[in-house]
Amino acid sequence: MSEKVVIVTGGSRGIGASVSRKLGQLGYTVVVNYASNSQAADDVVSRIAAEGGKAVAVQADVALEADILKLFEEADKLGTLVGLVNNAGVVDMSQRVDEMSVERLNRIFTINVIGSFLCAREAVKRMSTKHGGAGGNIVNLASAGSKLGSPAQYVDYAASKGAIDTMTVGLALEVADENIRVNAVRPGIIDTELHASGGLPDRVAQLQSKLPMKRAGTADEVADAIIWLMSDQSSYTTGAILDVSGGRSILP
């Protein structure tokens, strides 16, 4: 049980895949969580193994509490949980609020907010010194949308990420003296598959000329910030929300 285990939810693609690979390079045993795309998760695991790391793919839908419990039980078999990256999240098709259905809203908030809370709950139960753990780190995925609102596109997604901002600060203070640090990264326009899943596959190309740095960010750039927050180099950092947005989130 000497292995140091980190769970990355939504770890099979985009930012999650990049974080998983970088954690594997640092010697962690990585639990690459995925909802449905087993091939993508297996590819990440294979790449980590090819680079000398250790990883396993575990299917679990973070919209379902039973799946989350299974995910953490599988992690327990591998060693000691020392970290959680709450990366899993979804958007829906671009819509105004007056067009949104209750089914859409339930899906967004169940996955993006409740799923993150439940994963954090299970991580704290294992890592907190109050529960006999040795400590660890939680990094949540926020979004520049929480500050910008994403009008006429994804106000529901932006609102769900606003909840993640609040969760990060509140949980950080709650467990600060239990040897758990809780932080978040707030990405801006990042070149991943998320935009296509929201029906806007050309969103990066359409927006990059309007961005302060005139380009989108990469999954690796966000992952590097997450790795720093997971590391001892940020040992006095908790409750922080680190903008990785190329300046977009501070536009007037």
In the chain, where are the structural domains located? 4-244
Task: Report which residue type is found at 87.
Answer: N
Is there a catalytic annotation at residue 157? yes
Q: 4-244 falls under which CATH superfamily?
A: NAD(P)-binding Rossmann-like Domain (3.40.50.720)
Contact 32, 11 (CB under 8 A): yes
- The Cα–Cα gap between 228 and 143 comes to 18
> Taking a C-beta distance cutoff of 8 angstroms, is the pair 117, 167 a contact?
yes
Among the listed residues 28, 154, 157, 236, the single catalytic one is 157
What pTM was estimated for this model as a whole? 0.93
Predicted pLDDT at 209: 76
Q: Would you state the pLDDT for residue 211?
A: 83
Q: Is residue 146 within 8 Å of 124, Cβ to Cβ?
A: no
pLDDT at 1: 44
Q: What is the mean pLDDT of each run of 10 residues along the chain (252 residues)?
A: 88 97 98 97 98 98 98 98 98 96 98 98 98 98 95 96 98 98 96 61 72 89 98 98 86 51
Q: Which of 34, 86, 87 is nearest to 60 (CA)?
A: 34
pLDDT of residue 19: 98
pLDDT value, residue 200: 59
